[in-house]
């Protein structure tokens, strides 16, 4: 039987956690989409003014050494909470890989240029929907939303749909990233990377399962 000392020696090298994450994400994206339809799905946790947490699933749209990017309506609950309290947590769980990655950090708005560039890649109906949706606010009926979609569709006609001023992205700048690997008998492997102060150096720590 494997012991807790028998871990992946290659993963103990001082590689950047973003590099390690990208490798796992590539494995998840290589899985047939009929089996794993959304490999970029991640749980996003935010905190309201009352100190109560809220969690939902969003899609990762970019990741690099600066952090993890997703897009949303800034007037939504998550948007409002992140603008008021910039602390956020993410969790990726790829069950087929028996892997989990947890990220904790600070959320900051992406640049206008980044938001414009991504919005331009969205399907037209998704672009119109960003204008039509009063995200997270009460909706009386589907008919009301359909009417708003028609209204916005007529407003832009066949021309380009600009990005709404209230729709943009956040980048979660990580200060802690934990990699979890499932192992038999609950002898799981947990490796945490934490930034050494405000610098770019990562401190690596192994945790009991």
What's the rounded Cα separation, in Å, for the pair 47 and 75?
15
Q: Report phi then psi at 29, rounded to 5.
A: -70, -20
Q: Report phi then psi at 47, rounded to 5.
A: -130, 135
Kindly state the DSSP code that residue 131 receives in the 8-state scheme. Answer: H
Question: Any bridge partners for residue 107, and if so which?
Answer: 172
The two three-digit tokens of residue 7, written as one number: 């871990």
The two three-digit tokens of residue 12, written as one number: 């103990």
Confirm whether 206 is a catalytic residue: no
Kindly state the DSSP code that residue 110 receives in the 8-state scheme. Answer: P
Q: Which residue among the candidates 13, 33, 52, 186 is catalytic per the annotation?
A: 186
The catalytic residues are 186
């Amino acid at each position: 039987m494997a012991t807790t000392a028998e871990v992946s020696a290659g993963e103990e090298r001082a590689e950047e956690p973003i590099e390690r994450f990208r490798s796992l994400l590539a494995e998840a994206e290589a899985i047939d989409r009929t089996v794993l339809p959304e490999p970029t799905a991640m749980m996003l946790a935010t905190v309201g003014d009352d100190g109560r947490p809220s969690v939902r699933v969003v899609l990762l749209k970019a990741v690099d050494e600066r952090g993890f990017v997703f897009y949303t309506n800034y007037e939504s609950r998550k948007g409002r909470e992140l603008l008021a309290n910039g602390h956020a947590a993410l969790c990726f769980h790829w069950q087929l890989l028996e892997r989990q990655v947890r990220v904790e950090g600070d959320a900051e708005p992406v640049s206008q240029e980044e938001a414009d560039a991504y919005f331009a890649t969205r399907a037209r109906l998704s672009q119109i929907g960003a204008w039509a949706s009063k995200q997270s606010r009460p909706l009386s009926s589907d008919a009301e939303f359909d009417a708003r979609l028609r209204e916005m569709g007529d407003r832009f006609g066949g021309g380009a749909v600009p990005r709404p001023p209230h729709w943009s992205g956040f980048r979660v700048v990580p200060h802690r990233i934990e990699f979890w690997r499932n192992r038999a008998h609950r002898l799981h492997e947990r490796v945490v990377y934490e930034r050494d102060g405000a610098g770019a150096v990562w401190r690596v720590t192994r945790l009991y399962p």
